[in-house]
Structure 1
Amino acid sequence: MSSTPSDAAPKTSSFDEDLFLKGLEQRKATLGAAYVENNLAAADEFTRPFQEAMTAWCWGFGWGDDTIDAKTRSMMNLAMIGALGKMHEWELHCRGALNNGVSREEIRAIIHAIAIYCGVPQGLECFRAAKAVLDQHEQG
């Protein structure tokens, strides 16, 4: 027996507004409201579904799990994103880590671990990015 469109299950939206709103709150708390609002405002028909899904899934589901506090999660993210070498995201999450209470000394220790496990060149990249973020943060 073959399946026809008429007996196929109806397509449902995977958008979860409650999870999105929870994620939006956490995303703004970590990255700053202006940054998040600018990203969402810049989203178009092509990128909006990803922005919504990422906000709900990463920030609502992932960051919304209180088992790991925001500071620890930020520290984990710096290590993982640094390991991946995604420096634009690393800078963004470095700013967010400062917002979540990660100290300059903790950022340095995270970069040391990145250099040990991912190589000195990647550690140097993280130090370059961190220096720019920390200088900007200290200037206000």
Structure 2
Amino acid sequence: MSTDPKHGAVQRDATSQEIYDAGMAVRREVLGDAHVDRANANKDEFTDDFQDMITRIAWGGIWTRPGIDRRMRSAVTITAMVAHGHWEELAMHIRAALTNGLSRDEIKEILLQTAIYCGVPSANTAFKTAQGVFAELDRAARQPE
């Protein structure tokens, strides 16, 4: 078997398909089926290679590694999104961080940390982004099913 059952990590001798499959599984667990289904539905000849690459390399090669847990990976990813000003990706990864077990208070602390190391203007936008994500989630939670 090419995945480590204890950690879910893809081993170095995994086939490209096994890495892709493991990446797709983690991607779905972290981002949710709806997000991944939308991304796959929007694939075309131009974007197919990119979607394949991020599934294999980011999700199958990095997010499956055993060295740090998904909570820590989410914290690092949020910081990177703030540092580079990737606001749509930040919103997506704030949702993912909640899925991965970070609390809103922990996300707030991460964003406060980014104010010092990434700059106050970036953190200001990050707080507005997180506030919007939380408001959207709260509205959805209040909706009757």
Q: TM-score range, shorter-chain basis?
A: 0.7 to 0.9
Identity of aligned residues (%): 36
How far apart in 2 are the matches of 1:88 and 1:27? 17
Write the deviation string for residues 28-78 of structure 1: whole angstroms up to 9, x where unpaired. 111111110110121001100110111010000100102211111101100
| TM superposition shift of 1:138 | 2.5
Write the deviation string for residues 61-97 of structure 1: whole angstroms up to 9, x where unpaired. 1001022111111011001111111111101100100
Give the equivalent residue in structure 2 for 1:80.
80
Q: Which residues in structure 2 correspond to 1:74-113 (within 5 Å)?
A: 74-113=74-113
Q: Which residues in structure 2 correspond to 1:109-128 (within 5 Å)?
A: 109-128=109-128
Q: Which residues in structure 2 correspond to 1:57-76 (within 5 Å)?
A: 57-76=57-76
- Select the structure of larger CA radius of gyration: 1
How far apart in 2 are the matches of 1:119 and 1:49? 34
How far apart in 2 are the matches of 1:19 and 1:37? 19
Give the equivalent residue in structure 1 for 2:21.
21
Q: What TM-score, normalized by structure 1, do the two folds share? A: 0.86
Give the equivalent residue in structure 2 for 1:49.
49
How far apart in 2 are the matches of 1:62 and 1:41? 24
Structure 1 runs, 4 residues or longer, greater than 6 Å off: none
Instruction: Return the letter of the residue paired with 2:67.
Output: T
Instruction: Return the letter of the residue paired with 1:56.
Output: R
Instruction: Return the letter of the residue paired with 1:50.
Output: F
Give the equivalent residue in structure 1 for 2:132.
132
Instruction: Return the letter of the residue paired with 1:124.
Output: N
Match of 1:79, SS?
helix
Match of 1:46, SS?
coil
Q: What TM-score, normalized by structure 2, do the two folds share? A: 0.84
Structural RMSD (CA): 1.1
| TM superposition shift of 1:120 | 0.8
